[in-house]
Structure 1
Amino acid sequence: MQSKQITRGMVRASKPQTLRQVSCLQATLMRVRSGEKHFWINERAHVARADHLIMAPAGLTLNVHNLPDAHGYSCEVLVLDADLLQQFRLQYAEQVLALLAHPPQLFSPIQGTMRQLWDELFAAVTRSESEPLLRHRAQGLLLALALAGLGGVLFADRETGVADRLRQTMLLQPGRDWRLAELAHQFFMGESTLRRKLDQEGHSFRKILDQVRLNTALGLLQSTQLPIGEIARQCGYASHSRFSQRFQKQFGIKPMQLRATHP
């Protein structure tokens, strides 16, 4: 069982993986352990190599190419929820303010104290350490990043709209049969009002639901050995073939093809 505020994953590949339009639904830290991660944001290319740390803010969408070396491709992933970042922002307001004055940086080599704190946090989440201790460890890592002038992209101000609130709610149960009327009731507004607000933000209920389900499925495919049919079921798809079609349309690769790249 993983922390409510911190989840971990390990992505491995023995063959190259190419994925398009991958969405970071929550703030995500990725440490490449072997191979290279090539990623494109707004058509600008970046390359993160072994022992580089990628800092992806919630809402970031990128195209990805994971390239194995002689030892394969492996990448450790830590996902931090919005509450944890807000707690850090309040507790270390001075450091966050100074951090935001630095030019934004999406990735950097990880070394020294940062590497040690990462290893300790990743191991602690793996062994399901208590929530308060995990939160303390995570804040220590964030503070080390901040003192090095890194991680500002995680704290950059962005308006939290209705679409983001929907995503965070759906993430709790991606396989649930979500209904717009039910969510409108949770947000204390009428269904037509919620639909209008989503439209004003350029989103739709169905697209948000698919985004949450498919990106959750992607994470499970890359970091677990669960059967593809079980992943589809957990993410709300009763039909294996429909899930496969939606997945390929979103990421440009079929679930079975992605699974075949695993060692």
Structure 2
Amino acid sequence: MNVTGPDLLARLSRFAARDLRPSAGDRPHRPQLWAFIAHDRERLADVRIERTALIAVLEGTKELTDQSGTTRRFPAGSAMLLPPGWCGSVVNDPGTGGRYRALVLEFPAEMVRRLLRAHGTDGLAPRARPGDWHVALMPALTDAIHHAAAGLTADPPLPSKLVEHRCMEVLLALLEDGVWWLGPVAPMGIADAVRQLLRTQPDMPWTAERVAGALNLSTGTLRRRLTEEGCSVRSILTEERVAHARDLLQDEGLSVQEAAEACGYANRSHFARRIRAAVGINPSGLRGR
């Protein structure tokens, strides 16, 4: 496992001067920067990652144990990118140095979707996700993380669009470095694979046949495996389109008609019914919330 040098670590360390962990509840629809500090060995059970999370270990060691029981160790100077849906237990170990520190940069789903829509995933081979989630902290990526962290912690605050642009640079650096599991590849189940695929292009007229072809499966196999996981192409597509619509209406201020078209709904009334069924209010009620 590649470990970055002390100079690169020192550049990031100033953003982890004190423990700044997220509180319980929903995350805002924007990138977030967190710092984890522990002076005693701590174990966090039943951890579930809700948003794409880039974690850089600055001191001590992080251990990840997934649902299969496999444990991976990440020493100081290493990093990992955990996708939404990762579940397992985490150990933060100060070791002989007496302190554990890590910097966490979280990306909302819509930002990842925009990256993949803009830059595509044609070059990303359809292979299984890695078991260790390791990311090499190369200088270019470290520079991008530092730039984003400085933007997220600026006082006075920088314009939100500028901060988002800096965070998008981090995702681009990851994609350029071959962190291909940002894209629609088979991760932890067929439903998750379908979800990743539809998330990149929610406006496409997806059918079970088209999804099956994209995943190199027969339509019958796709439907059978989705049924075993308690869902269908239609239900996943609806979930992803509704999530995308909420991002567009709440964060980007698109009109209801524009959001409907971006989510693949030619009929505005049908779009409105889907939103009401999912969130209990009309699409217009989500704008600017």
Q: TM-score, normalised by structure 2?
A: 0.53
Cα offset, 1:104, TM superposition: 3.0
1:87 to 101, 111, 114: 114
Q: 1:126 to 1:67 in 2, by over 3 A?
A: same
Tell me which residue corresponds to 1:47. Answer: 73
SS at match of 1:15: coil
Structure 1 CA distance for aligned equivalents of residues 175 and 127 of structure 2: 10
Deviation at 1:111, TM superposition (A): 2.0
For 1:51-83, what per-residue CA distance to the aligned partner results, in whole angstroms no more than 9, with x for missing partners?
212111111112111111315101101111111
Q: Aligned equivalents of 2:113 and 2:55: distance in 1?
A: 20
Q: Secondary structure at the match of 1:97?
A: coil
* Structure 1 vs Structure 2 CA RMSD: 3.0
Q: 1:188 is matched with which residue?
A: 276
Q: Which has the higher contact order (CA 8 A, sep 6+)?
A: 1
Judged with a 3 Å threshold, the aligned counterparts in structure 2 of structure 1 residues 25 and 163 are, in CA distance, closer, same or farther, namely farther
Cα offset, 1:27, TM superposition:
1.1
Quick one: which of 166, 169, 181 aligns to 1:140?
Answer: 169
Deviations 1:12-52 (A, max 9, x none): 00000111110111111111111110011121111111121
1:108 is displaced (CA, Å) by 2.4
Preserved CA contact (<8 Å) 2:40 2:98 = no
Kept in 2, the 8 Å contact 1:18–1:65? The answer is yes
Amino acid at match of 1:16: R
Sort the Cα spacing of 1:100 and 1:11 in 2 relative to 1 into closer, same or farther, 3 A: farther
In structure 2, the partner of 1:32 is 57
CA contact (8 A) 1:8 1:125 kept: yes
Task: Mark the CA change 1:3 to 1:22 in structure 2 (over 3 Å): closer, same or farther.
Answer: closer
Counterpart contact for 2:49–2:84, Cα < 8 Å: yes
SS of equivalent residue, structure 1 residue 40: strand
Q: Any unmatched runs of 5+ in structure 2?
A: 1-26, 186-191, 196-235, 251-272, 280-289
Residue-by-residue CA offset, 1:172-212 (whole Å, 9 max, x unaligned): 9xxxxxxxxxxxx9843399xxxxxxxxxxxxxxxxxxxxx
Q: Is the 8 A contact 2:51 2:108 kept in 1?
A: yes
Paired residue for 2:33, among 1, 4, 8? 8
Aligned 1:38-187 pairs, distance under 5 A:
38-41=63-66, 42-69=68-95, 70-93=97-120, 96-101=121-126, 104-105=129-130, 106-127=133-154, 128-150=157-179, 152-156=180-184, 158=192, 159-160=194-195, 161=236, 187=275
Contact 2:55–2:103 under 8 Å retained in 1: yes
| Pair member with larger Rg | 2
Local SS of the residue matching 2:277: coil
Contact 1:102 1:149 (C-alpha < 8 Å) held by counterparts = no
- Equivalent runs, 1:199-218 vs 2, <5 Å: none
Contact 2:62 2:75 in 1 (8 A): yes
Matched to 2:183, the amino acid is F
The answer to which of 80-89 and 122-131 deviates more is 122-131
Alpha-carbon distance in structure 1 between the residues aligned to 2:100 and 2:41:
8
CA distance in 1, matches of 2:277, 2:38: 45
- Structure 1: which 5+ residue stretches go unaligned? 173-184, 192-263
Checking the alignment, whether the CA contact within 8 Å between 2:175 and 2:182 is kept in structure 1 is no
For 2:110, give the aligned amino acid.
D
